[in-house]
A and B are shown apart, each in its own frame.
Chain A
Amino acid sequence: MRVQLTVNGEKREADIEPRLLLVHFIRENLLLTGTHIGCDTTSCGACTVLLDGRAVKSCTVFAVQADGRAVSTVEGLEQGGKLHPVQESFTQEHGLQCGFCTPGMMMTAVALLERNADPSEQEVRQAISGNLCRCTGYVNIVKSVRAAAGKIRESKSQAVPVAAGGK
């Protein structure tokens, strides 16, 4: 089947089997290997990407279901050489060790902060409860996400309001 989708802002096209999972399409066809596979029961969230802005487990979506839609992966977080606040905070707060859950964890965090600019500790814990981490004990991940939220709020409050009609 022919699919057309936008991945990290770039148009991608491919001929694929209907049974191909999105996670394999991303990793094997597009060679974006930041998205990982940690289980076979949709439990671990290591494969989390954004599909039209929503966090989804890409091991539980067929690639053909992403036809015509926008996918964001960890590789798309850094823009123009500038790290996303979530990436920065994971480093500063030591929110990762082996790094295997990190891409999925960060994508979940990005989706959370889009809908909740100032999550409480409990809200962060709930939001990332579909992402398993075996190294950190979550404490520093929670700190990382809340630190990132602070940075995003600060940068938005400092931003110059755009003129009417602007986007």
Chain B
Amino acid sequence: MAVEIGGIGHSVKRKEDARFIRGKGNYVDDLKLPGMLYLDIARSPYAHAKIVKIDKSKALAIPGVLAVITGEDLVPLKLNWMPTLMSDQQMVLPTDTVLYQAQEVAAVVATERYIAADGVAAIEVEYEPLPVVVDPKKALLPDAPVLRQDRKEKSNHIWHWETGDKEGTDKAFREAEVTVKEDIYIPRIHVSSIETCGMVASWDRINGKLTVWMTTQAPHAIRTVIALVAGHLGLQEDKIRVISPDIGGGFGGKVPVYPGYVLAIGASVLTNHPVKWIEDRAENIQADSFARDYHITAEVAAKKDGTVQALRVKTIADHGAFDAAANPSKFPAGLFHIITGSYPFEKAFVEVDGVYTNKPPGGIAYRCSFRVTEVAFTIERLMDTLARKVGKDPADLRLQNFIKPEAFPYQSALGWEYDSGDYGRALKLAMEKIDYAGLRKEQAEKRKKGELMGIGISSFTEIVGAGPSKHFDILGLKMFDSCEIRVHPTGKATARLGVKSQGQGHETTFAQIIAEELGIPVGDITVEEGDTDTAPYGLGTYASRSTPVAGAATAIAARKIREKGKLIAAHLLEAAPDDIEWKDYKFQVKGVPAKTKTMAEIAFAAYTNHPQGMEAGLEAVDYYDPPNLTYPFGSYICVVDLDKGTGEVKVRRFVAVDDCGTIINPMIVEGQIHGGLTMGLAPALYEQINYDEDGNIQGGTFMDYLLPTAMETPNWETAKTTTPSPHHPIGAKGVGESATVGAPAAIANAVVDALAHLGVRHIDIPITPWKVQQILKEKGVAE
């Protein structure tokens, strides 16, 4: 029976696949509307420059070019700037100055995509270059040019944020037997979902209704933002329909509002035609939300046996030219204060300073769970440094220090209440799977022969499912989420949610939660997301929040239906409601297995024979305000071999043990982990966006921004333990980002471990062959 239902715990095959494998998905660029025009964007070749003049005439002379929009055109509409999620503002189009290379300068509207591109090429812009700031540390020097002339504060400093017990932490460091310190740079990277960002905006002048199809992970929030930003132009929220159709990957890159969206909407209102904007890959990498870019100095104080005592962290955060990081509003550095990790630090103090530079905005993206990628890397690197300092094996040091299972719910020194965990079990399982003891023996033998092999561990704790309304909001919108379920007379159901899948399998897994709760087979439940006219309001999908928040709402909405169903069952079975129990996915009179009603029978009765005094129909909605976040965890072990000739790092094996509590669909969780691990491998070894002194982007296309192919990606080995979240209705934690959070440290630790006997303590990622080769040469072991 359970298998037919396809409820929680089954590897149900995905409903989404039927259309995707036939080429029948509906992504934004697939949409074609009558009279649809195309918008393309002219971008700045300079990182910092004054705009002297924009000449539209040659572009406008091209047949098929209908309009050229500049910043000056947006001024009367009050749309040349837009607010960001971080109480800053961002240029839509500049009127006098550009602040980063590839910044939007003007937009062309044309009858065809190719003509729009011709128009962009024909726009002539005269620039006067200004001094460029690319290094955030130099940006803070007193003589640095002030980039943001629009702000009152004449400084490149954006904000200072700190938390923890500064005095207590400093005291612990003064008195510590052992301290270790690392300077760690976590470089700028980019999500590069295979589908770039885009929109079709369609303004209906007669009804005053705006419909937009767009690549957004948070359609409802976007609807509200459009109403707030453009309300003065007559766009009102009941007449804005945001449709997020099939999305070709998001990874956090499709949370923010980009100028291209605003321009497409503006162009549609201006021309009374639907307008399509689809960016190309270079634009996507060079101008859309980046990830990471944290300069971190971290210190651990410990006893001489390696017992951790205190953690002190100072960070410079490069936010680019505008602070548009997609954080909950109270957390300018995200959830950086989860940095105590899996360990019971008694004292901790963290401070972060946000800085402007001549680069595009962003920061929160790429499976970061609001900066947890940065912290997991830092603390797991430092645990290795500490192990080396006190002369212990890094696995032993972790097992010695872990927060113990009985300590949960655990109150961390920086204020988080971890829900549940058994860290030792996960690490021991990973060690067993990979034969840790055997690997250490092999490594010792190889070292004697001069071969370089390393083993790296990462035992991370995630924090996902933002979040409780007391602390979490985006633009004031509390970070709840929602589900509405309607059971139809024939027993089939339609459910809609406030989140939005970008490949995570929601259409399948949310149906599984409902199947489990209501006994309706998973194939009889349709799940829809992404249309703000129909789906209940939610905050969207990012930071692995769908299962913790919308998953909870789904279970609770289903339980509301079951409560009503029970009353209908009592009516049909002529029993008292208290005598009805839910058993084997049916209502049954207690102790009388012959007297049962299925949910399909209940549903039919709800429309044809409902009890007097009860509302007809069978549906429910739930808006879930989570009591806490969920704290999944894992232990990863990586084995690498280094080529002493080329400096290449070869990942020989990688075992990932994850624990996300109750698993809804093991097949889908495994797929998330495979993808997440690959997005951990990528920044560890390959991907980086760098800027030269003039602010020119390096790594701005797939020619040099190196996404791993199947050749670089190892055959990931996965395993699990199960420690449910006690506060979640089905015990499930989020997991989508865990692997990306956990993996880079395991890889970096393995490479450093391979070189540790030569005196290497830290290498900044990405650990490229060139970097390794320099070290090998310096140590005199290069071949």
Q: Which of A61-69, A132-140, A158-166 contacts B (4 or more CB under 8 A)?
A: A132-140
Whether the pair B667, A94 counts as a contact (CB closer than 8 A) is yes
Residue among A32, A132, A142 with max Cβ neighbours from chain B (10 Å): A132
**Dominant SS at the B interface?**
loop
- Cα distance, A33 to B710, chains bound together (Å): 25
CB of A138 within 8 A of CB of B281, answer no
Nearest residue, chain B, Cβ from A21: B114
Q: Are A96 and B249 in contact (CB under 8 A)?
A: no
Closest A residue by C-beta to B26:
A33
The answer, yes or no, to whether B16 is at the interface (CB within 8 Å) is yes
B307 is an interface residue with CB less than 8 A from chain A: no
Question: Which residues, 458 to 508 on B, are CB-close (under 8 Å) to A?
Answer: 502-505
Residue B145 at the A interface, CB < 8 A?
Answer: no
B531 close to A (CB within 8 Å): no
B707–A134 CB distance below 8 A? yes
Interface pair B702/A139, CB less than 8 Å apart: no
Nearest CB in chain B to that of A38: its residue: B194
Do A91 and B17 have beta carbons less than 8 Å apart?
yes
Partner of A91, one of B13, B505, B678: B13
Q: Shortest distance in angstroms between B408's beta carbon and chain A's nearest beta carbon?
A: 30
Determine if A128 and B710 form an interchain contact, defined as CB atoms under 8 angstroms apart.
Answer: yes
What is the bound-complex CA distance between A94 and B29, given in angstroms?
A: 25
Smallest Cβ-Cβ distance to B715: which chain A residue: A139
B-chain residues with CB within 8 Å of residue A99 when the two chains form the complex = 16-17, 19-21, 25, 246, 248, 503
- Give Cα A28 to B709, complex, Å: 29
CB-CB < 8 A to A151: which residues of B? Answer: none
Q: Which residues of A contact B251 (CB under 8 A)?
A: 134
For B282, what are the chain A residues with a Cβ–Cβ distance below 8 Å? 40
CB–CB B280/A40 < 8 A: yes
How far in angstroms is the closest Cβ of chain A from B691?
Answer: 20
What residues on A are CB-neighbors of B195 within 8 Å? 36, 38, 98, 100
Interface string of A17-50 (1 = CB under 8 A from B): 1011000100110011111111111011010000
Interface centre among A34, A92, A103, A135 (most CB of B within 10 A): A135
Query: Do B23 and A136 have beta carbons less than 8 Å apart?
Result: no
Check B25–A135 contact: CB distance below 8 A. no
Q: Is there contact, CB below 8 Å, between B30 and A33?
A: yes
Complex interface: stretch among B71-79, B163-171, B309-317, B669-677? B669-677
Residues of B within 8 A of A137 (CB): 671, 673-678, 713, 716
Take A129-B711, A135-B671 as given contacts and tell me if A100 and B114 are in contact as well, using a CB distance cutoff of 8 Å.
no
- Residue from the set A98, A102, A125, A134 with the largest chain B CB neighbour count within 10 Å: A98
Q: Does A141 contact B (CB under 8 A)?
A: yes
> In the bound complex, what is the Cα–Cα distance between A73 and B21 (angstroms)?
11
> Chain A 85-116, CB within 8 Å of chain B: the 1/0 string?
00100111010111111110010000000000
Asked whether A74 is an interface residue with its Cβ less than 8 Å from the other chain, the reply is yes
Interface residues of B in 228-285 (CB under 8 A from A): 246-249, 251, 280-282
- Chain B residues contacting A128 (CB-CB under 8 Å) are 709-710
Contact pattern, B 271-307, Cβ under 8 Å of A = 1, otherwise 0? 0000000001110000000000000000000000000
- Report the minimum CB–CB distance from B709 to chain A (whole Å): 4
A124 contacts chain B at the CB level, 8 A cutoff: yes
Q: How far is the CB of A38 from chain B (nearest CB, A)?
A: 4
Does A52 lie at the interface of the complex (its beta carbon under 8 Å from any beta carbon of B)?
A: no
Docked pose: A46 CA to B713 CA in angstroms: 18
- A132 to chain B: closest CB distance in Å? 5
Q: A133-155 vs B: 1/0 string, CB under 8 Å? A: 11111111110000000000000
Task: Tell me whether A74 and B22 are in contact in the complex, defined as CB-CB below 8 angstroms, given that A92-B13, A132-B709 are known contacts.
Answer: yes
Question: Which has the most chain B C-beta neighbours within 10 Å: A102, A124, A131?
Answer: A102
Are B27 and A36 neighbours in the complex by a CB distance under 8 Å? yes
Q: Residue B559 at the A interface, CB < 8 A?
A: no
With A38-B196, A139-B713 known, 14 other A-B pairs at CB within 8 A are A31-B32, A34-B24, A34-B25, A40-B701, A43-B707, A87-B21, A87-B22, A99-B17, A99-B25, A121-B715, A126-B711, A128-B709, A134-B249, A138-B674
Q: Which 8 residue pairs spanning A and B have beta carbons closest together?
A: A34-B23, A98-B503, A99-B20, A100-B248, A137-B674, A43-B702, A97-B503, A74-B23
- Write the residues of chain A forming the contact surface with B, with a CB cutoff of 8 angstroms: 17, 19-20, 24, 27-28, 31-41, 43-44, 46, 73-75, 77-78, 83, 87, 90-92, 94, 96-103, 106, 121, 124-126, 128-142
Can you list 5 A-B contacts (CB < 8 A)? Answer: A97-B671, A121-B715, A129-B711, A133-B194, A137-B671
